[in-house]
Each structure stands twice: as structure tokens, then as C-alpha cells.
Amino acid sequence: MNKRILAVIVALAVIVIAAVSIVAVQNSNDSADSTASVGGSAASESSSEPDAPEGSETEASTDDSAAIANDGGGDYVDYSPSVIADADGRVILFFHATWCPQCVSADGDITASGVPSGITIVKVDYDTNQDLRAEYGVTQQTTFVEVDSSGTKVQDNFVAYADPSLNAVLTALN
């Protein structure tokens, strides 16, 4: 009987190890797919899309902020101290963390959908901009804050954690 118990334990161990390996491989593939769909890893984000033809709207701007996307006529840029004052139209700060799945999803949706004309979405690193988080009362990543050209908050923050899509953000902030 001890041999049967030992055989069952070994069989279960093999099944568990196989299941964990399969899940790890799937997560690795999903992560690679998601990274590829948003234009590469966060560490290698570029200021223009690699396949964009010369002279296209997606090329990097000449100011000190790096353009991320400009497919819909608006702008999607990385945060810099001057970007809020330099932006035209509505300005929405997106508090983003590279380790946050909802942030990555929202980032991918913004990039894929394109920002509507007259709107600038400013991607603010959640981890390195604690002063901005405190200034705007941001306590959670995936928070969107609309500000005016002087940086004053225009309305209540919107946390897009449950629905990390550009449509949800624009609907909530309208």
C-alpha cells in the first residue's frame, strides 16, 4: 500500500509541475504579446513608432517631451515639467505604472485608438512623480486628472481601474 501512495504522490507532483510550467509559458507569451502590442517594453519606449513613414504625425515632437502617439489628431506624450503649459486644448494627466496591468491596458488602448483632436494626454510615471501624485490627490495608478494650462485640477479625478479604456476616460471626464 505504501508503494501505491508513493506512486500517487509522484503522479500528482508531476501533474502540478506540468500545470505550473504551462501557466508560466502562457503568461510569458501573453506578456510578450501585450508588450508587442503597445510598441515594445517600457524600458525601450521610443519617441516614434518604428514603422511610421518619414513626415508622419507619429514622429517625435521638437519640444522636450517625447511623443508617444498621435493617431487621432490629439497628443499622447511623456510628462515633463513644461508639457502642461505647452499643450493645446484639454490636458489629461495619466498616472501610469509599468507594473500595473490596467495601466498597460489603458496605454495600449490609447495608443491603438489615438487621442481625439484638441486633447493632450500626458503619461506621468506613478512611481517617480510622488510630488504630482500628492498635488492632485492621486492614490492609485490608472488615475486620470484633467488640468488647465496652469496645472490646476479642473474636475474630480477618474480612476480607470475597472475599465481601462480611452472611451471610459473621455466619458467620465466630459
**C-beta of residue 147 within 8 angstroms of C-beta of residue 133:** no
Cα separation, 84 vs 136, whole angstroms: 14
Cα separation, 64 vs 82, whole angstroms: 8
Q: With a cut of 70, list the residues of the chain below it in pLDDT.
A: 1, 23-72
- pTM of the entire predicted model: 0.60
Strand order in the sheet with 75-78: 67-69, 75-78, 119-125, 90-96, 143-147, 158-159
Cα separation, 14 vs 142, whole angstroms: 40
pLDDT of residue 155: 87
Query: In CATH, what is the architecture of 65-172?
Result: 3-Layer(aba) Sandwich (3.40)
DSSP string covering 128-139: T-HHHHHHHT--
Cα separation, 118 vs 79, whole angstroms: 18
In the numeric block, which cell numbers belong to residue 109? 488602448
DSSP string covering 47-86: SS-TTPPTT-TTSPPSSSS-EEE-SSBSEEEE--TTHHHH
pLDDT of residue 26: 65
pLDDT of residue 10: 82
Which amino acid is located at 35 in the chain? Answer: T
